[in-house]
Amino acid sequence: MAALNDLINQVEDKTLRERLMQEAARLTKQKKFGLVYEEHIPECTPLYGIEIKRGSTVAKKAGAINDVYRVTKINGDEAECLRLVSGESETTALTELVPVAKFGEPIYPALQPIDKVENAPDSDLWHTLIEADNYHALQLLEYLYPKQIDCIYIDPPYNTGARDWKYNNDYVDSSDSWRHSKWLSMMQKRLKIAKRILNPNNSVLIVTIDEKEYLHLGCLLEEMFPEANIQMISSVISRKGAARTNEFTRVNEFIFFVMIGNCSIIPSDNAEYALEGESIHWQSYRRSSAMNVRTSRPRQFYPIYVDVRTNKIVEVGNAIAHDVDRFSVKQLPHCEAVFPVRDDGTEMLWGLTPNACRNLVEKGYLKAARHTPNKPQLYVIQYLMSGTIRDIENGVIQVTGYADDGSVLASNIETKKIMPRTQWNFDSHDARDFGTKILKNVIGELRFDFPKSLYAVHDCLLYFLADKKDALIVDFFAGSGTTLHAVNLLNTEDNGHRRCIMVTNNEVSYDEARRLTTQGFQPGDPEWEKLGIARYVTWPRTVCSIEGHDINGVPLKGDYLANDSDGNPIPMSQGFKANCEYFKLGFLDKDDVALGRQFKEILPLLWLKAGAIGKRPELHGETPDMLILTENKLAVLVSESSFMAFDEQLDAHPEIDTVFIVTDSEKAYREMIYGISAKHTYQLYRSYLDNFRINARR
């Protein structure tokens, strides 16, 4: 495409040139370049627990979720439905139907409190678990935290063909010829919203994947985050490996790091070290790449004169032309003219130009070491790289003297962490010992395959959040809940105040679904829901890890592979000083919202939007004219007629950071917020309704 633009710019006719540019831009939008895949029909989401009304869009629980009906009439326990694809009418029992929402349709979410765990009553830090389809939960997060998320860590389904994920409520197995494009469609929809909630100035997206989809995922990330610095590393998760028929035994997986804005890597305790007293490292000054031959750069082939009696560099000659024989250059008494020549006689390049080389010699940053006799290059020329030079000049590396040849003698004066490498092979990242075993010790019988090592997730977060103790982290493929567990451990290590929001559905496994179906149960039944991942795995793990016991109340055994901020081991039985709310995503009638009839249902959203500070407020009885919630640092004006009293309360409580004002009038809202000192103000219910209307158009 770049070459095409270059050619178009050579067109002299301005009108024609602009037309060609427009057509080229149109072709680019049609995805004829880069990653190309089939964009499948919009996904549908079952909304279990939502009341079926006349006009509801529904599907049969036992049928395809995208085979939808419109309810035309309700007669007692039955519904008359119009099948949208064929126009046929039929009557079906309400118990056999489930409301559905198509992606792209406006939805008006609410959070229904399910449970909570509170192990830090004096802390205002509250994590969140949301049971939901993650697409609609992401739409909600865009309303709550646009451009505010510091880190997203996700472990999406790997699409191995082993019925490990669903598209449109159907398992996608290896026989599905569209499984790769279905997976890409699923990921692309979610990453679009993820990008809108990440802080564009400084944030990171971390995605784990295996070899089945890493190529597709890499292309998708490059396409969606062109401005980011993207790097992939390989991580050993099982040294014994997972054997596969007629395939190499799999011991690793891959992790993509999408670094946005000023995001930078922070070396952690798992990094390698340059130790105190360790001498500096000298690098070969001769270029080694096959591309760096003499003819490629005319200014970097020149003689360096070394005194054969002292091995001291006495002079740096000027660059010589390509057609000049190196043996014809001037000779100096008692000196060897050293050129960058490989052992096979190939003439290469020096690392820098002559003037830069002379500067290195003057400061003692370049030296000559005697080479093996009868080599084309009698001496090996070595130099200090820019990072080492910078550390010397900043005092991190101390110069202790100079050698006889004039080169510096120096060593590290402090322990210095070195950047982590692209191949991770840490004992603590073993998924069996520090994923499966940890989870099994908490909940007993597992209904979740391949949980991540707690410390693998911990280290991913630490590399980017070590200096962000108030970071906001989101995991919208939360699975077994490892991310929140890792965040709590990280907070305990450094007294951090990082907050985590996890999103997971409540699906049961393929085998479990078959067994439940044969027993006469269906999704939405209590017997079905209690075995879903959110309720059987994610939430119990969250409660138990925070309180320090297993699901039977027995204290957890052993210590974490980490120390607290005082350097003491962290017993698992100690739990974590943390709190967490568990919600299920529900949906509201937009007309009821606009009329203020569902304020109680929206209040948890307002608490989250204000930062989830302190214990979630609850409303009992009639809705008051105003709410002044100092513990939560938020206030809500429900009745405009009470504004004067509301304003007085705000003056008396300057700790309130977030204010919501319920009014239909944009003018009245602007007049009321004038003079309010709170950091954030929002108009209800307009900001809420507009957000999800906008999301629908997207």
**How many C-beta atoms surround the C-beta of residue 286 within 10 A?**
20
In this structure, what are the phi and psi dihedrals at residue 140, rounded to the nearest 5 degrees? Answer: -65, -45
Q: Which residues contact 619 (CB under 8 A, 6 or more apart)?
A: 599, 600, 603, 627
Task: Name residues of the chain where pLDDT drops below 70.
Answer: 1-3, 5-6, 28-42, 49, 103-105, 160-177, 268-278, 372, 413-418, 447-448, 590, 594-595, 693-698
pLDDT score at 304 = 97
Q: Which of 375, 384, 386, 361 is CA-nearest to residue 306?
A: 361
pLDDT score at 601 = 87
pLDDT score at 170 = 65
Task: Give the helix/strand (H/E) hosting 111.
Answer: strand 109-118
pLDDT per residue as tens digits for the range 223-281: 999 999 999 999 999 988 877 778 888 899 999 999 999 999 988 655 555 555 567 88
pLDDT score at 551 = 95
**How many C-beta atoms surround the C-beta of residue 234 within 10 A?**
16
Give the three-state DSSP class for 552: coil
Amino acid of residue 199: N
pLDDT score at 24 = 80
pLDDT score at 280 = 82
Check: CB of residue 610 under 8 Å from CB of residue 632. yes
Amino acid of residue 490: L
Give the three-state DSSP class for 28: helix
Q: Which of 202, 201, 236, 205 is CA-nearest to residue 218?
A: 205
- Rounded CA separation 551/93 (Å): 38
pLDDT score at 362 = 95
Return the beta strands (E) in 554-664 as ranges.
559-563, 569-571, 579-587, 626-629, 634-637, 658-662
pLDDT score at 29 = 67
Token pair of 267 as six digits: 């070396």
pLDDT score at 314 = 96
- Rounded CA separation 279/274 (Å): 9
pLDDT score at 154 = 98
Q: Which of 448, 457, 546 is CA-nearest to residue 505?
A: 448
Q: Which of 542, 538, 464 is CA-nearest to residue 202?
A: 464
pLDDT score at 647 = 95
pLDDT score at 308 = 92
pLDDT score at 406 = 93
Question: Edge-to-edge strand order for the sheet containing 109-118?
Answer: 109-118, 579-587, 126-131, 499-504, 472-475, 151-154, 202-209, 252-261, 229-236, 423-424
